[in-house]
Amino acid sequence: MSVTFWCPAAPRRLVTCQLCDGTGRDWQDPDQACWCAGTPTPGQEQESEAPDLNCGDENARWLLEVAGVEVDQCGTIRVEDIPAVTRSLLRARNVQTVRQTGLREPEEGVGALGARWHAGGTTDEAVRYRLDGLQALLAYAAERGLEVVWG
């Protein structure tokens, strides 16, 4: 599972449909029709002008904890709370002992029914990338008076 942080009220712009563009599909051909064929702007999709951040549940939980936000599967960071959350994230970004709480070693094993599983570890570089991504989203939101949501 994953969690995305974004600004739902951010302005949107029309861009070329990434699926059509990336696969060479022709939205006008019924045999190749993409999901965008049934929209008001076939061949295009709406994209937020705001940055967003997508990460796994465990990584999102860690970000919320170090940000001082109540951990839940979904929620809102209100505009008036953005400065405090930003300060907490800056502390986490700049204090290695705080960042280290987000690190994990890779793991692998065999499940009860014999299926092998693997969980990639989390490096300091990945932790900083997530912190920077959420800070960029919060800066965008604060500048425009927008809430940030996750879910």
Helix, strand, or coil (residue 145)? coil
Residue pLDDT tens, the chain, 151 long: 789 999 999 999 888 887 777 676 666 776 766 767 777 777 788 889 999 999 988 889 999 999 999 999 899 999 999 999 999 999 998 887 777 877 777 778 888 888 888 777 778 888 899 999 999 999 999 999 999 999 9
The confidence score (pLDDT) of residue 96 equals: 78
| Angstrom distance (rounded) from CA 25 to CA 33 | 7
The confidence score (pLDDT) of residue 134 equals: 97
The confidence score (pLDDT) of residue 94 equals: 87
DSSP letter for each residue of 31-72: TT--GGGGSSSTTEEEEESS--EEEEHHHHHHHHHHHT----
The confidence score (pLDDT) of residue 22 equals: 64
The confidence score (pLDDT) of residue 39 equals: 75
Spatial CA neighbour of 93 closest among 125, 115, 141, 118:
125
Model confidence, pTM: 0.78
Spatial CA neighbour of 2 closest among 42, 55, 53, 49:
55
Which amino acid does the sequence have at 5?
Answer: F
The confidence score (pLDDT) of residue 103 equals: 79
